[in-house]
Amino acid sequence: MYTINTRRLLHLFGRKVAILFAFICAFNCLYAQKYDEGNYNFRQFNQKSYYFGITLGYNTSGYKPFRSKDFINSDSILQIESVNGPGFNLGIVTNLKIGNNFDLRFLPTLSFAERSIRYKRNASGTNFSDRRAESVFVEMPFHLRYKSAPFHDIRLFVIGGVKYAFDVASEARARQAETLVKIAPNDFSVEYGAGMQIFFPFFIFSPEFKVSHGIGNILIYNPNLEESTVLEKVLSRSFTISLHFEG
């Protein structure tokens, strides 16, 4: 079984984001009085109450499987773990400015992801089977972003929000054999991350990373399939590095 739980993940990544948030607040206090000094490109973008853009990203996605009570009674499955896979994102950025330091963001995205659940059938791990899913998600994330004061046309920021995702490739997988563990097409997640804005004369370049944790069970239980009965629930998780081009 994959041993990292949600509490540990929140501790590992949430702590880093919290530290960065505190750093941005301190940065904001230090440079608030120098708001326009050296921020030549920032000035023209600061006059806009909203703007749009595109986003490109790389993601690594996986599952977080939880073993059921029936796992102990299984003679053939000795271990269950997640195998992460690569993917990429392509989307649109809609940004609404709220005061000097906050933005409300909507980023409809098409996301391609690959994830697997691995069932090990002997102690050495040489005999195993994978439940692999190649997914195409239509994602609808809503984020609130907090930004520092600009310094030489650069701003740091942290983000937090929620996301709904629908797997448009799930129907094709549903027509496959009944010997496969099935995953629900709908998923809800919480997201958080950080990044920076770099203001150029004609656009804003924003590299960003974010962590996504599924909050709903996406396992479709099948009592006739051992690979399903040894699972209590399955949650999604992903890590994404994005490049936003806005203006």
State how beta strands 182-183 and 219-220 pair: antiparallel
pLDDT digits (tens, 9 = 90+) for 24-51: 565 555 555 455 566 788 888 888 999 9
Q: Indicate yes or no: pTM above 0.85.
A: no
The tokens 């994602």 sit on which residue?
139
Among 157, 58, 44, 145, CA closest to 94: 145
pLDDT digits (tens, 9 = 90+) for 74-97: 778 888 888 999 999 999 999 999
One-letter amino acid for residue 4 of the chain: I
Mean pLDDT to the nearest integer, 4-33: 52
Give the integer Cα–Cα distance in Å for 244 and 159.
14
Give the integer Cα–Cα distance in Å for 101 and 85.
35
The yes-or-no verdict on residue 2 having pLDDT over 70 is: no
150 vs 161, which has greater pLDDT? Answer: 161
The total number of residues written for the chain in this structure: 247
C-beta separation of 56 from 90 below 8 A: yes
C-beta separation of 128 from 134 below 8 A: no
The tokens 């948030």 sit on which residue?
21
